[in-house]
Amino acid sequence: MRRYIRVYVPGGTYFFTVVAYNRRSILTSDLGRRCLRDTFRSVRSQWPWNMVAIVLLPDHLHTVWTLLPGDADYSLRMQKVKERFTKAFLAAGGHESAPTAAETQYGRRGVWQPRFWEHTVRDEGDLKRCVDYVHWNPVKHGLVERVADYPWSSFHRYVRIGEYASDWGHVDPCPGFEMPE
């Protein structure tokens, strides 16, 4: 069995990729967005973090979080996000894919792929690349031609606070920088 080694840095900043089960296009549906918004609010009220950046794509999401000083437990937060989203999504009429027998044995549902991918942000340059990657992702996947045209992204908040011009991202801001999709 594969062994996953995660790095836990108290007060650290992390880039995450979380994927829907079988890459189903559920996250940008009205139901998916509503359940994610409510889930993030609920989990953050109990286990706070700063959401630095986020983008919802139909079948996966990328997000960058900074935890509070002294706190390194992003795994608990991600577990709670996935659990609460699954409950809310299914209770509101969302459908799941049939998990494998082995996944069912471990109590997994067919809403999220098992686990998540995480990258510990090392410095300001790495943070900039991660945030740029988050915001560029809809263009990378061919969902829009301009970053500004994609509605489910923190990019618009970054434009409002002056971090990006509204026409930012007409070329790949981080060529060669790849994160798991």
From CA 115, how far away is CA 19, in angstroms rounded?
Answer: 9
- At residue 98, the pLDDT reads 81
The pLDDT score that the predictor gives to residue 60 is: 98
Measured between alpha carbons, how far is 181 from 179 in angstroms, rounded to an integer? 6
CA 94 to chain centre: 19
What integer pLDDT is reported at residue 93 of this predicted model?
Answer: 96
The model's pLDDT over 53-108, given as tens digits with 9 standing for 90+, comes to 999 999 999 999 999 999 999 999 999 999 999 999 999 999 988 877 877 777 78
Q: How far apart are CA 180 and CA 11, in angstroms?
A: 23
Q: Write the Ramachandran bin of 20: left for phi over 0, alpha for psi from -120 to 50, otherwise beta.
A: beta
Give per-residue pLDDT as tens, 151-170.
999 999 999 999 999 999 98
For all residues of the chain together, what is the average pLDDT?
94
What pLDDT is recorded for position 21? 94
Domains and CATH numbers, the chain: 13-160 (3.30.70.1290)
Q: What is the structure's pLDDT at 2?
A: 66
What tens digit of pLDDT does each residue of 21-61 get?
999 999 999 999 999 999 999 999 999 999 999 999 999 99
